[in-house]
Chain A
Amino acid sequence: MFANFDFDVIRRSLGYLFLDGMAFTLTLTGLSALGGIIFGTLIALMRLSGFKVLGRIAGLYVDFMRSLPLVLVIFWFYFLVPYVGQWLTGASRPISVGAFTSALVTFIMFEAAYFSEIMRAGIQSISKGQPAAANALGMTYAQTMRYVVLPQAFRNMLPVLLTQTIVLFQDTSLVYVLSMPDFLGAASKVAQRDGRLVEMYLFAAVVYFTISCAASFGVRRLQARISIVR
């Protein structure tokens, strides 16, 4: 049944698929995860702060982001970010930020909503005695968070954060709608050019599956190791 298929197209395009496409995907995933965790931690701290207004704003932000399909957010950001840039800098026309920056900002803001909930759970998992002990030593709120609470919260939540990053890795394929050269975009371009849709999309699926599966397995092993140490 494979008589009509030409799987050699994969071999011929490996360099483009991985050195360009996958490199783009991994860069976007890495930077988005990093930014999302930092921004998400700030949102979590806002939600847990004693200030009601801050907590409400953060809560609304999280609910808002989680109620929208990611594809829509990607689209909207792509069109909106230039205007926001114009508004912020007072330029006379919309500022072109480039598709990559736009996508990166989108993913950071969108994923921050999910990362913030993970970090919130992580912070709440630390017993109240820990910040009390840090305060008793004379540490300020910022020091208590930075040196005592967040390192522990981050470590407790590391497996969940990494699992969310694997989801993010798959989600980055949605930048395909902005015709960006991520792994799926690259595969798609080759597929259209050579008329080999079935082969290329099958191969893309296998690659995403393999990487995600291997990463999940790695996270499970890490989880086992962390739970022994504690």
Chain B
Amino acid sequence: MIEINHVNKWYGPTFQALKDCTTKVAKGEVVVVCGPSGSGKSTLIKCVNALEPIQEGEIILDGIKVNDPKTDLPKLRARVGMVFQHFELFPHLKIIENLCLGQEKVLGRSHDEAMAKGAKLLDRVGLKDHANKYPAELSGGQQQRVAIARALAMDPIAMLFDEPTSALDPEMISEVLDVMVDLAREGMTMMVVTHEMGFARKVAHRVIFMDQGEIVEDAQKDDFFGKPRSDRAQKFLSKILSH
């Protein structure tokens, strides 16, 4: 589904954010990407739907080369859902309008169809009573659940999560993770940048550990938590699992 081959990326002339990154995510697979801050994990996931350009290598999404100048990027992005650290709901639109905008303007669905789909997804994330509120009236956890519903409304073939719980108060993290766990169990293809190792243990198939722009470890979940091969991954795990 997602293939990342020998990707190199620089910010400016000197700072290399990604160094020869290669990995892939198969259909129905849940891959968690972790690593210390500044390791390039967010950058990597943003490259997958070309929100960030890459300078070398290639990324192939469902058979289409993302970094080909001839690729119709809006069309490709419409097929991949993305959830951001800071939710990025559209503050000037009501919750239900947030869910309808992409469906109507990008997919060309009728207003009624979009509303029905939006209402169904709001119900699914447990927020159907909030359809006519504005994002600022909701808590962080609720906003992030709306953001997930907004992405799902486009009927994506895969979902990208960029630190979806990092900006949340601790008591709100589980309500978002619950939605993500359900999604994973339904067989959604997911690439998730997160520090939530509990989530990784529960539903991930593979875990990727990044440090300083490199993919240091790319292992099956049990191998990763059981016996990480690299020192850096071991150190990272011991730091975040010890308390």
Q: Does B77 sit at the interface, judged by CB under 8 A?
A: yes
Q: Does B198 sit at the interface, judged by CB under 8 A?
A: no
Partner of B92, one of A134, A136, A151: A151
Beta-carbon contact of A135 and B90 below 8 Å:
no
Beta-carbon contact of A136 and B82 below 8 Å:
yes
Residues in A neighbouring B92, C-beta threshold 8 A: 151-152, 155
A134 to B49 alpha-carbon distance, docked (Å): 12
Stretch at the interface among B100-108, B122-130, B189-197, B220-228: B100-108
Partner of B101, one of A127, A129, A135, A147: A147
Residues in B neighbouring A127, C-beta threshold 8 A: 86, 88
Beta-carbon contact of A133 and B105 below 8 Å:
no
Interface residues of A in 46-77 (CB under 8 A from B): none
Chain A interfacial residues counted at CB < 8 A: 19
> Shortest Cβ distance from B234 into chain A, in angstroms?
34
Beta-carbon contact of B74 and A135 below 8 Å:
yes
Q: Does A191 sit at the interface, judged by CB under 8 A?
A: no
Could you give 29 example pairs across A and B, Cβ below 8 Å?
A127-B88, A129-B84, A130-B88, A130-B90, A132-B88, A133-B88, A134-B90, A135-B77, A136-B51, A136-B77, A136-B81, A136-B82, A137-B77, A137-B101, A137-B102, A137-B151, A137-B154, A138-B74, A138-B77, A138-B78, A138-B79, A138-B154, A139-B106, A143-B106, A148-B90, A151-B92, A155-B92, A230-B91, A230-B136
Contact residues of A with B, CB < 8 Å? Answer: 127, 129-130, 132-140, 143, 147-148, 151-152, 155, 230
Contact residues of B with A, CB < 8 Å? Answer: 49, 51, 73-82, 84, 86, 88-92, 101-102, 105-107, 136, 150-151, 154
